[in-house]
Amino acid sequence: MAQASLKIEHAEYIITLDSDRRIIRDGSIVVQNGAIQAVGRTEDLLSIRADRVIDATRKVVTPGFINGHMHLSYAHPVRGIFPDGTPNRLALVFAMQSVMTADEEYAATLMCLNELLRGGTTTLVDPGTTRFPEACMAAYEAAGCRIATGEQVSDIDASLNLPCYDIATAVSRMRASIEGLHGRLDGRLRVWTMPFSHSTCTPELLVAAKQIADEYETMMTIHHSGGRGSADRTPTELLQDMGVLGPNVMLSHVMGLEDSDIELIAESGASVAICPSTVLKNGANTRLGGRLPEFLAAGIPVSLATDSANSSNFLDMVRAAGLAATVYKDVRGEPTLVSPETALELITRTAAHAVGLKGKVGAIEVGFEADIVMFDGTRPSWRSLKEPVRNLIYSASGDSVDTVIIDGVVRVEGGLAVFIDDEERLISQIEQIGDRIRARTGINFPSPWPIT
């Protein structure tokens, strides 16, 4: 339940991301019943009273950030164990997840949400690999986040240690997930259809997943990449031929697409999520495969994302935006590609469009949901502060987040998650879970340097 009213005042800067992209100095925001009621200069809103007033002096305020592809529930207990270039890493990842209990997945989810929210993420898409969503509901509710999740399905065994179903079972599980979870948490929880990829799903299953998403007026996401190989058609062309592309479909990763693929995605109205940190860490070659400038030029809605905490290993959307704003400048030798303003849009307003929340989140604008992040502008990384967007994208990080508000409710205050009762206890629990997972699976890698 949202607080009756909340007022933020005297913010050094409010980066609104509204339709005019206003940046307001000495600004105030008024929130009523979880929605933004007024935004403007503090002096112009002095007459408006609220149940709670937050002094935002020396703070920089932005909309809440959106992470468009974030495997939520399994990585933290075994974060950092994989050496660079580990063969078949995903198969090992999913083998480790397969031995987790519901209680263990809940604890890992809570730790992940702790990190995400403390870095300013308020909305995320978990692409279906949570095995026990009912067990994790308490974590979603405590954090207050907006989350899209669903039942990840495959009907082709691709040796990734993923669950593999016959098509009737896969369809039944997708329907049950939507009917059981969609709309819970006062509408903050949305359930999508989530076939894993075109290489792990038959055309029949992909078509069924899209039809179910259409029927329930929800969305679908799929791991997607380019390349023809020996086929006559690209994966994107195959999806188009099946009738699977559309405005309620988000394609994730999208490396190595051809110009014709991009045209098809744009014509269909589909959106994409890209994970620059995963690409860079895994040597997936942004220069040859990264097409972000082309997506933007084609008008395709793009959401930045971080993937899992054992794929990119960090979940900071400010860092992800910083990568998007720099890597293309380097690999293409064009220093004006992907401006810091564009990069910020890719984790706020444009990302909201990509994940199906256009006009609801992603901006500090009257009528939008009150998902708000306040940065501590006294940190050295913020000074001197004349151009707040450039400072945010090129100099700061999510570590300087002070306050996070979702639906008008404060979820992070003073840099700490108010929904975590005992963080040290949770950290200890996560480490014990990691020890148990490694013991159950025998998956471990010694340090190349001696640890004594």
Q: What is the pLDDT of residues 427-441, one digit of tens each?
A: 999 999 999 999 999
Residue 295 to residue 135: CA distance in whole angstroms = 37
Going by pLDDT thresholds of 50, 70 and 90, the confidence category of residue 20 is very high
Q: What are phi and psi of 404, to 5 degrees?
A: -130, 130
Backbone φ, ψ for residue 156 (5° rounding): -125, 130
pLDDT band at residue 4, thresholds of 50, 70 and 90? confident
pLDDT value of position 438 = 97
206 membership: H or E segment, kind and range: helix 203-215
All structural domains of the chain: 5-63+368-417 (2.30.40.10), 65-354 (3.20.20.140)
Dist. CA 165–CA 405, nearest whole Å: 40
Percent of the chain surpassing pLDDT 70? 99
- The pLDDT confidence band at residue 232, using thresholds 50, 70 and 90, is confident
pLDDT band at 230 (very low <50, low <70, confident <90, very high): low
Q: What is the mean pLDDT of the chain?
A: 96
Residue 1 has pLDDT above 60, yes or no: no
Asked whether residue 334 carries a pLDDT value surpassing 90, the answer given is yes
* Structural tokens at position 359: 């006009």
Side-chain-facing half-sphere of 20: CA atoms under 13 Å: 7
The pLDDT confidence band at residue 2, using thresholds 50, 70 and 90, is very low
Q: Which residue has the tokens 């999913």?
A: 94
- Provide CB contacts within 8 A for 211, sequence distance 6+: none
Rounded CA-CA distance 125/70 in Å is 6
CA 19-25-31 angle, to 5 degrees, is: 65
Cross-strand partners of 193: 220
pTM: 0.97
Q: List, for residues 92-140, the tens digit of each pLDDT value.
A: 999 999 999 999 999 999 999 999 999 999 999 999 989 999 999 999 9
Q: Are 73 and 130 in contact (CB under 8 A)?
A: yes
Please name the amino acid found at residue 312: S
Residue 219's CB: how many other CB atoms inside 10 A? 25
CA angle at 203 for the pair 257 and 274, rounded to the nearest 5°: 30
Number of CB atoms found within 10 A of residue 254's CB: 28
Interval 141-198: pLDDT, tens: 999 999 999 999 999 998 999 999 999 999 999 999 999 999 999 999 999 999 999 9
- Tokens linked to 24: 């307001």
- The token pair at 424 is 């040290």
- Determine the Cα–Cα distance for residues 6 and 359; give it in Å rounded to an integer: 21
CB burial of residue 248 (10 Å; 0-12, 13-18, 19+): buried
Residue listed under structure tokens 């949202």: 2
For residue 364, the tally of other CB atoms under 10 A from its CB is 27
C-beta atoms surrounding 414 within 10 Å: 8
Structure tokens given for 88: 């078949």
Q: Where are the beta strands (DSSP E) in 45-151?
A: 52-55, 59-63, 65-67, 121-125, 146-149
